[in-house]
Every structure is written in C-alpha cells, then in structure tokens.
Structure 1
C-alpha cells in the first residue's frame, strides 16, 4: 500500500489499508525519523479514540516502538486528540501518536503525529516518515518489548484548560448547556468537566459507539439535528458539539440554530478581543470567512492568511509569540498560551464564557458582530469527480492561467492562489476552488451577502468542472 500523510495524518479503511502490518511499517518509519532528528529523546506518548480496534491498534504501535528502544506511555482510556497533544509537551516527549480518523466514517482509522511542541507534525517531518518507509526492510530491532507505562493523561490537561477561563463566573451563572460529543473521544470528558463547573449539562450522543449512531462524527449543521433539538426543546443557553477526536467544535444558539464554523470563529475571536480585552495576531486559512479579516481590521490587529491545513497555523503559533488565535474553515481553533493545535474543549469553554460574561445569547453576540462589520453567509460543496487527482490539479492550473474576469455579473477584482484559486469579487464576496490532493475531489467554498448569493457562487464553481 502507498502510505501517504494528508493535511493531518495518515488515514485508511480498516482491514484494507489500515492493518496491523501497515501500522508496524509506519511506526518503524517514525522511529527511524525520530532517531535521525533527535536521538537523545526516546520518549513517546500514545492516545486513541472510540473507533473499532483503536485501543488494540494503539497497543500494537506501543509494542513496536518499545521494541526498538523507545520509552512508551499509553493512555489508560480513549482520549481527545488535544489531550494527547498537550501530554506530549507536558511530559516532554519526542513525539505523540494519536490513533484516530477524526471525522471520517466509522470504517476508517488513522495515525496522527504530534511533535515535541504539542502540535501537528510539519509537512517536512511527515515527508521524512514517508521516505523512511523504504528503509524499514533493513531496520534491525530486537522485538523484545520493554515496559509500557499506562497513565491517566486527561487530568493534567483538564487542569491546564481551567486556567484560561473565569471558572468562578461560570460556576455562579447557573448556565444550562447541551454537549454533543457525536459518540467520539470527547464522550464523558466534556460533560464531567462542565458539571464540575456547576453547569447543568444535557448530554447528546455522549457514549462510546464505534458506529457513531450510523452517522459520521463531523460537527457540521446538517449532522447536528440532535443537538439543535435538545437545546431548543429544553430552552438551554447554548450547545456545543465536538468531532470524532475532540479537536474541532460547533456551536448552537438557544433557539436551536447551529452556526457554521465561520460564524463560530467570529464569535470566539470577538469574545477574546471584546470581552477578554486580549490582543495579538490572528491566523486563518484560505477558506475562512471575510468576517475575520473585517474584525481584525476593526480592532487594528494583524490577520495573516495561510494554506488549508492546521499545520501551517501551528508553525506560525510556534514561531510568533504574539499570535492570539488561529482557525480553519472546518471548525478547528487554537489559542495563545495553550498548545499550538486545535482544541474543541477550550473552544467550548470560551463559547460558554462569552454567554456568561455578556449575558447575551450567541445569536445576539453574532448580530453585534454583523452590526459592526456587515453580514455574510457561507457555503461549501465537495464535488467528487470520476477522474484522477492529476487531472483535477491540471484543471485548477488551467483556471489559474486563464482566470475569470466576471462571476455571476460581478467583477473579479482580485485573484489569490495560495491554495487553489480564490476569486474575490467587487462586493467582498468570494469563491474558492481547491483540489483535495489525496482524492479526485474538488472543494468549492463561497461566501456572499446572503445564502442565496453563496449558493449561486457554489453553482458557478461546479459548472467549471462539469
């Protein structure tokens, strides 16, 4: 099998590409890479999610790495990915490995690498792991398994999280919140944490289920009906949802309105700046709302645009100390002072704190943002094509070389090619078309002054490929 790392790790279907044999290969290639990079640190920590055989897969990786001389710590239970990322830095490990396929369907699993700084492995690092797959045939190891330590990793992570919010204010607010963990790795953890803060929690899909109740654990509006119903029918203050491994978040207003990830990003950034009076540089990937640019301009803070993939945001958070927040279109947000990685738990705490501090619903806060910077609606469509990845890339290249000058009777005043091609129109609406990179899929994103305009832009983007 051709093992390739995507935007965040290697993923494949269980029993097809994702096998114990291939896991051993990846683990050995990682071991070689670590020895080349930093032979003095041979400590690693391993976590896993709620998917089929995740615990067994994680233990197999632990056994392989311990057999080649690594000091291995493994979680005593399934955990969210941000817990694993935090533990890498907290313990001082050379690397962390998370066995998860994030938001993919139940029949997938994956292998995420977190480097010593507590964030997603760089493209340079994962490229070395891929290259070292060729070396494992000649790699001698004893297969004498050393001691593997089992440890609770969540407690230290939880204590660190609580330093970022006003716990006393939350405890005194008598707030009522729905929590949807989508049967993933956040199940049980977030409800317990909030209950300890005197929050009345209404759990939704809050138990381990490898089938994810027949859905997929992706916190997007069309999959969050149970959360919306729970919030609305019980007149709760808000709701939050996590993806399959707990590093991404979605939010829901008291009337059951589930916000897009773009709106959630705006709410979080506005809370940090307006309510917590924090300042610093803002990072966003290429597919994130213009709302973030406009909020940054309103508050006179820098906003930098990066390619899609949180690893690019992670790199900036490490190299630039003044970064306040970084976010991506899929609902992953990272914050200064914490790990340089996505964290759905801290995002949820900040959303709850915003309601407590302002005594306003999320919708009321969003309306305030619209009053300040204008109204925008976002949409996305993944177009699957019966062609090769190379053909998709060729078409994107053709669009870049022969750019459109008008889209739906609006003038294109700027084109950006940071990741795919983005048409920015005269009224600040935009259309982004970018290839998946690992499959013949074109991702089409758009934002307009109404949902009708956004969908019209998506339609235009689809026509370019059909």
Structure 2
C-alpha cells in the first residue's frame, strides 16, 4: 500500500528527536489513522491549504508548510529579479504553531534569495492583505485556519494585488510542489543568516498606523453620534483586539466594552465550543457583557479577523444574532442611502456577492438603479472583479460580501475584512440610533419593503478518506438525477458550474455561465426559492444552501422548513 510506503519513508528520514517522528511511532498501531495521515498529499486549493496538524503528507506540519512555501518561491523566481526583490509579506494568527510556521515560510522562501517581511506579532488577515499592497510585495502568506477547531492550521497565499491567488498562479505553485520528491529534505535558511543578509525584515506598527488611516475612506458620517453607541466586542481569542481598538478610537467610539476573557490569544479557544462568529455559542460571554452594559450592539470576529458576527436587540430587548446575509443587507442599505444623500453615489456603482448569498441585496441595489453581480464562492473572485473594475473603469466597486460573514467596504484590502465591517456597521448603528431606530428595526423595514428573505446553510461533515468519497457520491447523485420538482414546485433552472451551463426547464434551453468552473450545482424554483450544493473547499463538509422569499416572516420560514426537509431526505450518508 502506498500510504505504508510513505509512512516508512517519514519514519526513516525524520530526525530521531523530531516530535513528529515520536508521534508516528506512538500511533503506528492505528492503521486507520496512519492511512489518513499518508494516503494522499494535503490538498492545495486556489487560495492555499488547511488541515489537521500532525505528521504525514495529509497533515499540516513544518514539512508540508515548507513544501507549499517552496512552490511559492519557485513561482516568484520565474517572475524575475524584480519580483524576488519585492518579496513576500508573512503574517500569522494566534493558533498553535502559527508563528513557527510563519518563520518556516520565511526560511524556505528566503533560502531562494527572495526578500521576506514578517510581522513582529500576530495580525488579522486583512492586515496581511493590506501590507502586500502597502509594501508593494509580490506575494503574501497568512498562517491561519480561520474559525476551524484548535487542532487545525493552514496557510493562505496572496498575489501582488493583495487578493488570494487566482487559479492560474495556484496551478503553477502546485506543479512545483508536485516536483518535490520529498518534503522532508527541502533546504531552508537559518533566521539569523537571513537577518544578516538583510533578506528578512520584521514589520509592525507602521503597517498598523497606515491601515487605520486608510479606514478614513469608509466614514460616511462624522463621529458626533458614535460616542453615544454602546458596544461590546470580542475577538474570540484571536488577532483582532488591538486593531479594532485603534479603529474604534479613530471613529470616535468611546463606549466600548471588550470581553476580557476572550480578547487575548488562546490557541485552545477554551471559552467557546467553536471560535466561529456564525454560531450562537460563540456569543455566550459577549451577550452576558451586553446585558450588563445595556449594549446597543455586540460584535465578534473570528481568530484571523476576516469574519464578523453581529448581535442586536429585538423588539423584546433580547439579543439576537444577525445572519451574514442580514448584516450585508443592512450595510448595503446604509451605504447607498448615505452616498445618495451626499451626492457621492456613482451611476456605475456595483455591489458584489457570491452565488449563495441573499437576493435581498439585488432588490435593494435595484431601487438605486445599480447592479448586483454574482461570483463563485470565495472572496478571491470578488477581489478579481475589483481589480478588473480598476483597469476597465466600467464599474465602481461599492461593497462585496458573502453569506459566511465576510464583508469588504473599500478595496484597500482585497479580502474579507472584519475590522472595516465592525466600524462600519457600528457607524450605521449609531446613525440609526440617533433616529430612534435599532439595526433590528432597520432590518424589519427592509423586509417590509422588499419581502421576507430567509437563507440557511446546512452542512454535513464527512471526514477522512471515506468522507471524501461519500461527498463525491452525493454530488454525483445530484448530477445524474437532478430534481425537477421539489414539493410540487417546479425547478425552472439548473445551473451546473462544472460544465458552466445553465439549463432552463422545461424548455431545455441552455446558456453559458460566465464564471470559472466549480464543483457546484444550483437549482432555481418558480416561487423565487433556490438551492445550491457544493463541497467545502476548506473543510471536510458538503454544504446545502437554501434561500426563500415570502410576504411574511411566517410564510418564508414555512417555505424554508419544507424545502430543507424535502431536499435533505433524499441525501444518504
């Protein structure tokens, strides 16, 4: 078996005192675990890779990190001396071994004569994206596993525009990685030698200051109202606290309480089940703070601060979590309303969203005569469009978001930015509070005007080799037997992103989908409901996205409940 050969190769070549070798020797009797560690190479997607930490080719460890860094270094060398001199910016989050992995990237890339810039301390992902652009580096690397459990880590790679690498660049890096016969023998430089050769530079406060100054571009109102807004903030043991503190001060927010237990780094995320601001459990402590301080709004970022969760008071005074779709819709409403009033709303303005994000966005922008464009899931595709707009001048980027709590207001960052989103949604809350409204009131006003849009994501986790095969079988079943009716409601269009063809039903008329190929299926129903199915690119999950619209909240909720039940009852795992 190939996995056993790989295991023996690692056991033979790892140094005797290497913790990974000791771990392998302790678990050799567990064939299933060893097979999962070695049966394949850890997959490198278009943005990077993520996985459980541990020994093996299918795990995140210093050797697989070196292999990815080596691929990046060869890609940069292909671009010539200028690219090598511009170099790579590197940041990391608060997870186990994140700093160590960041230095391994620097040692591997630096060994090839490429300049490297490493943050002097953990930083949010958006700060890395910003630094790539601000320092004019040729690439960037962020060591993070976002909101995954503590046993995970990973890395994301960025191009010179500050966006995650596009597929073409990633393919070149993958080709170079595949040429590596063994990741265990990749040569790296020593940190002290890189420092001596001036190939390693540490960066810090200057980048933070420049980033905070850039936030001025997203202010729509002066800070007069901001001092009256009561905020509770939690970084969920991640990277955001210091940057968010500076951002709030710059915007004039002074009534801010920080969840003390969660604002410092903790790689075990001990106070939460999951450091994910999409989940209610992550807000438990913050809501206690909110009740104790009568907070108007509660904000939470994930460990690398690219996602933002928001809780506000409902009509009963109880804190409720807004969905990513709802947060994005409120931001669009406030953004367009204020720009129109100020006379700064461009006629060619465009809002970007992914194909699994709420259609309420399109309804709101439509009232302003503006366009909403869809991209595939993944913020790199939104960033690509921003770059395209800058070159063609055909459109002006106004806002980009995705249902999974990722938002971007201004393109000085080219990835999801929870810091931008935090101060912007807080400014909106302060503005509406001065009018006697909460964000919950604003959301209900939008529903009353446009209809009750409700969306939900259902994920099925299927880990390991067997899980990956199950996910493949589920996708194949939908390709071979697509539903034509769901609960008596006609499917009017099937969008197959693998073939890039949309098929209208029942006519059978086909039209091209002008987006990159992806392992995604989407079904549109005649009652404005929709379903999208895709395997996660970063987690061992298959995801089912549902969207409905109703005249009332009750009608919409009933439609969603029925749609989910009817579709998922046919999914066998």
Shared fold, TM over 0.5:
yes
TM-score scaled by length of structure 1: 0.93
Give the equivalent residue in structure 2 for 1:372.
449
1:175-194 aligned within 5 A:
175-194=229-248
**CA offsets, 1:14-55, max 9 Å, x none?**
223111122111111110011113442222111110011211
Task: Decide whether aligned partners of structure 1 residues 437 and 286 sit closer, same or farther in structure 2, where only a CA change above 3 A counts.
Answer: same
**For 2:407, which of 316, 328, 333 is the aligned residue?**
333
Separation of aligned partners in 2, 1:460 and 1:12 = 33
Give the equivalent residue in structure 1 for 2:326.
263
- 1:447–1:453 Cα contact (<8 Å) kept: no
1:197-208 aligned within 5 A:
197-204=252-259, 205-208=262-265
Task: Decide whether aligned partners of structure 1 residues 399 and 172 sit closer, same or farther in structure 2, where only a CA change above 3 A counts.
Answer: closer
Instruction: Give the Å deviation of 1:439.
Output: 6.5
1:285-324 aligned within 5 A:
285-321=354-390, 322-324=396-398
**For 2:526, which of 418, 426, 429 is the aligned residue?**
426
Task: Decide whether aligned partners of structure 1 residues 324 and 248 sit closer, same or farther in structure 2, where only a CA change above 3 A counts.
Answer: same
**CA offsets, 1:231-274, max 9 Å, x none?**
34422121211111001111111341110111011011111111
- 1:281–1:303 Cα contact (<8 Å) kept: yes
Q: Runs (4+) of structure 1 moved beyond 6 Å? A: 138-142
SS of residue matched to 1:314:
helix
Give the equivalent residue in structure 2 for 1:408.
487
Task: Decide whether aligned partners of structure 1 residues 6 and 458 sit closer, same or farther in structure 2, where only a CA change above 3 A counts.
Answer: farther
Separation of aligned partners in 2, 1:77 and 1:86 = 16
Give the equivalent residue in structure 2 for 1:12.
51
Instruction: Give the Å deviation of 1:296.
Output: 2.3
1:150 and 2:168 matched: no
TM-score scaled by length of structure 2: 0.76
Cα RMSD, aligned residues only? 2.4
Instruction: Give the Å deviation of 1:388.
Output: 5.3
SS of residue matched to 1:287:
coil
**CA offsets, 1:289-312, max 9 Å, x none?**
111121122222111222111111
Instruction: Give the Å deviation of 1:67.
Output: 1.9
SS of residue matched to 2:321:
coil
SS of residue matched to 1:30:
helix
Task: Decide whether aligned partners of structure 1 residues 351 and 172 sit closer, same or farther in structure 2, where only a CA change above 3 A counts.
Answer: closer
**CA offsets, 1:318-345, max 9 Å, x none?**
1113222221121112234422221011
Instruction: Give the Å deviation of 1:140.
Output: 9.0
- 2:232–2:256 Cα contact (<8 Å) kept: yes
Separation of aligned partners in 2, 1:381 and 1:7 = 24
SS of residue matched to 2:155:
strand
Instruction: Give the Å deviation of 1:313.
Output: 1.2
Instruction: Give the Å deviation of 1:415.
Output: 2.5
- 1:221–1:260 Cα contact (<8 Å) kept: no
Task: Decide whether aligned partners of structure 1 residues 336 and 128 sit closer, same or farther in structure 2, where only a CA change above 3 A counts.
Answer: same
**CA offsets, 1:101-126, max 9 Å, x none?**
11111111111111111111112212
Task: Decide whether aligned partners of structure 1 residues 162 and 215 sit closer, same or farther in structure 2, where only a CA change above 3 A counts.
Answer: farther
Instruction: Give the Å deviation of 1:362.
Output: 0.9
Higher CA-based Rg: 2
SS of residue matched to 1:28:
helix
Task: Decide whether aligned partners of structure 1 residues 7 and 327 sit closer, same or farther in structure 2, where only a CA change above 3 A counts.
Answer: farther
- 1:444–1:461 Cα contact (<8 Å) kept: no
Give the equivalent residue in structure 1 for 2:273.
215
